[in-house]
Amino acid sequence: MIGCPQVTLTNIYEKQVVRKANGILDCVNHPLHCLFEVLPSGRRFRVPGFKLNRTRSSFIPSAIRRRRQKRGCRAGALARRQPLKPPLPSLFLTNAGSLANKMDELRLQARANNVVKDSCILLITETWLHSSIPDSAIELAGYTAQRHDRTVNSGKSRGGGLCVYVNNSWCTNTVTVESHCSSDLEFVTAKMQEFTVVMITAVYIPPDANANSAIGLLHGSISSQQNKYPDAVQVITGDFNHADLKAALPKFHQHVKCATRGANTLDKVYSNIKLGYRARPLPHLGQSDHLSLLLIPAYAPLTKTAPTITKTVTTWPEGATQQLQDCFDRTNWGVFEHQVLEVFTDGVLCYIKNCIDTVTVDKRIRVYPNRKPWMNREVQQLLKERITAFKSGDKALYSTARANLKRGIRKVKADYRRRIEDHLDSNDSRQVWQGVQHFTNYRANLGAADGDIALAEELNLFFARFEVTPPGTASPHPTVHSSLNLTLLTAWCGDNNLLLNITKTKELIIDYRRKKTDIQPLIINGDCVERLADFHFLGVHIEEDLTWSVNTSELLKKAQQRLYFLRILRKNHTETAGVLLPSHHREHPYILHRCMVHQLHSGSEESAPEGHQHGPKKSLAALSTHWKNYTVPVASKKHRTS
């Protein structure tokens, strides 16, 4: 009994703990068997003066028992092992207030603090940098800096400034796509394109800036980015002070809930992904008066949120067909004969099914939600071979593996295309449309409105129930403003509790006179109405000279975007594009061309914008491969449409 505890101590505890235990045993004046008494049950020991430890080594006094570390591991172990492979980029946001004076502390945190070191992007506002400070003074090892200093357009000589540091371990393809500096707003937008496009916009709005003007400028920039990159991750972060972006961009979500300066939340982070980030406050950077923020990705990818589907598939091993044929050859089919046809049919089918189950093998497979339907085992094997060749460092082997993978993907896509076309013979349009969506990655975002058709008229009657023609508002001369009518209109709106929104009121002047004169601006309640050269109304761009060039360009742009998915189908050599079109479009391409000419441009070939003459021909060529030799007539002055 004396040797057993000593062996257990050596195996379980550190040497230092063993020495302490032996020291306690030596200083005791009574024998060892008195120190460790056996309980009546025969399974436990008791040490006088020490609390009994109810563990598997209960003979150890709890006063000297120490564990080297706790059992298990803390949550988020996988995220800590792969800090630079998050579903969304992790952000570190701080208001420096003179970055040049705090570079030593920032470098120290980027080297020693894992929170800052593992962040994908560092965003610094109020850098207070100027042209006399070189880029080498703000370099950060392992990061690429996107610097934007305050210019003379802001009306101030110092202060402001933005800087975006991108971790090279996360992304090496970074470019500045847009920047702006004025008295109301400073922002810089950087595009990170590693696997998907990530747009990071750093913003600084001064405390004395016009919030409405700043939000309007920022809204225009973000809207253009969303139109150009509809599937990109948009993150807008910085020092907003008294401005709020939620009113202008309601689909963006604000992730910072804690105060960043005193009791106010001045530093904010917006993104187009709901519940995408979780904000965590950090200590100030140097003597800055703003708290630093760490934005931890809380977004979970589709493979983790959507359930994995388990299916049972039947596989035919090699030689199974020959075994089944031999089984049928040795079968005495006469034993299944019966006067009742139903009994005879059931017997034969059950026997055939039993023979098939004998020679085939059932396997259970897992289908992940982001897996393409054309992906099979052969492609997965080729993908593994390419990864192995890449790790080996052999360029020739890697080139061969890449070529094999490309040919394998092309082959399985062709097989899947034939399966889609086979559904057309069975008139299964649903399977055809789902296959087309998988091929082109088309995602429709148009939702049908619920309710009766008369809902639109009811809405018109509801919103127009207070409309009354004000007295004395007859239309004046087309090119002359009537100040009297505007005064009466303003007074009538005030009497009826209506407020004219001058910021959303626009003026468009259409003047065909040869001798044009300067027209005075329109003034309402002391505010000047903005005058536009073109106006977008109900999907149509109306210009002041009625040339329709802007509207034609927008129509051509939309047509090219719609034809993109048909080009993808043509790239995969499928005939589905021509089959999905109406029959009269396929049989009469000339009628389709005339309709497109009528919508795209109304004028001669010389007056049409550049590239518009070939728009209909490209459209028809993308619709079907049968129209390659079709000659599209160009609209001339003789056949001008109106």
518-554: pLDDT as tens digits? 887 888 877 888 888 888 877 788 888 888 888 888 8
Pairing of strands 506-507, 530-531: parallel
> Looking at residue 129, which CATH number applies to its domain?
3.60.10.10
Per-residue pLDDT reduced to its tens digit, 301-328: 666 667 788 888 888 888 888 999 999 9
Q: 490 and 562 share a domain?
A: no
Q: 356 and 267 share a domain?
A: no
Q: What is the DSSP string of 196-261?
A: SEEEEEEEE--TTS-HHHHHHHHHHHHHHHHHH-TTSEEEEEEE-TT--STTT-TTSEE---S-SB
**In what helix (H) or strand (E) does residue 194 lie, and over which residues does it extend?**
none
CB 401 within 8 A of CB 386: yes
Sign of CA dihedral 425, 426, 430, 431: negative
Q: 203 and 267 share a domain?
A: yes
Separation between Cα atoms, residue 536 and residue 552, nearest integer Å: 13
- So what's the pLDDT on residue 397? 92
Q: Decide: pTM greater than 0.95.
A: no
- So what's the pLDDT on residue 17? 46
Tell whether 384 is covered by a domain: yes
- So what's the pLDDT on residue 450? 56
| Tally of domains within the chain | 5
For residue 34, what are the domain limits? 1-72
Rg of the Cα atoms in the chain: 37
Tell whether 453 is covered by a domain: no
- So what's the pLDDT on residue 636? 39
Q: 169 and 285 share a domain?
A: yes
**Domain boundary pick from 242, 277, 300:** 300
Q: 192 and 283 share a domain?
A: yes
Please enumerate, as own/partner, the contacts of 416-419 that have beta carbons within 8 Å and a separation of 24 or more: 416/373, 416/374, 417/572, 417/573, 417/574, 417/576
Per-residue pLDDT reduced to its tens digit, 157-182: 788 899 999 998 888 888 899 999 99
Given a cut of 70, the residues of the chain with pLDDT beneath it are: 1-86, 194-195, 299-305, 370, 424, 436-453, 465-485, 564, 568, 572-642
